[in-house]
Amino acid sequence: MELRHLRYFVAVAEEQNITRAAARLHVSQPPLSRQIKDLENELGVALLHRGSRSVRLTDAGKVFLDEARAVLNRADEAIRTVRAIADGERGDLHVGYAPSLTVELLPLALREFDRLRPGVRVTLHDLSTEEMLRGLRDQSLHVALTIRPPRRAMSGLVFRELRRYQVRLAVPTGHPLAHGPKPRLSQVWKERLLAYTKSDYPEYYEWLEELAGASIKPYVAEEHDSSSSLVAAIEAGRGIALVPESFSCFVGSRLTLRPLASKLDPFPVGVTSLLSNLAPMAATFIQAAMIASNESGARLPVSKTKAS
Task: Name which of 128, 138, 120, 119 is nearest 96 in CA terms.
Answer: 128
Which residue intervals of the chain bear CATH 3.40.190.10? 91-164+267-306, 167-259
Please report the pLDDT score of residue 304 as a whole number.
38
Taking the C-alpha atoms of residue 248 and residue 259, their distance in angstroms, rounded to an integer, is 12
Please report the pLDDT score of residue 308 as a whole number.
29
Q: Is domain 3-86 classified as CATH 3.30.1360.20?
A: no
Which residue intervals of the chain bear CATH 1.10.10.10? 3-86
Residues of the chain with pLDDT under 70: 81, 84-90, 295-308
Taking the C-alpha atoms of residue 232 and residue 250, their distance in angstroms, rounded to an integer, is 12
Q: What is the pTM assigned to this prediction?
A: 0.68
Per-residue pLDDT tens digits for 196-237: 998 888 888 888 888 888 778 888 999 998 888 999 999 999
Please report the pLDDT score of residue 77 as a whole number.
81
CATH (one of 3.30.413.10, 3.40.190.10, 3.30.465.10, 2.40.10.220) for 167-259: 3.40.190.10
Helix residue ranges, H only, the chain: 3-15, 18-25, 29-43, 59-86, 99-102, 105-116, 129-137, 185-188, 202-212, 227-235, 247-251, 280-295
Task: Name which of 152, 153, 168, 157 is nearest 247 in CA terms.
Answer: 168
Query: In terms of CATH architecture, what is 91-164+267-306?
Result: 3-Layer(aba) Sandwich (3.40)
Please report the pLDDT score of residue 90 as a whole number.
64
Please report the pLDDT score of residue 101 as a whole number.
84
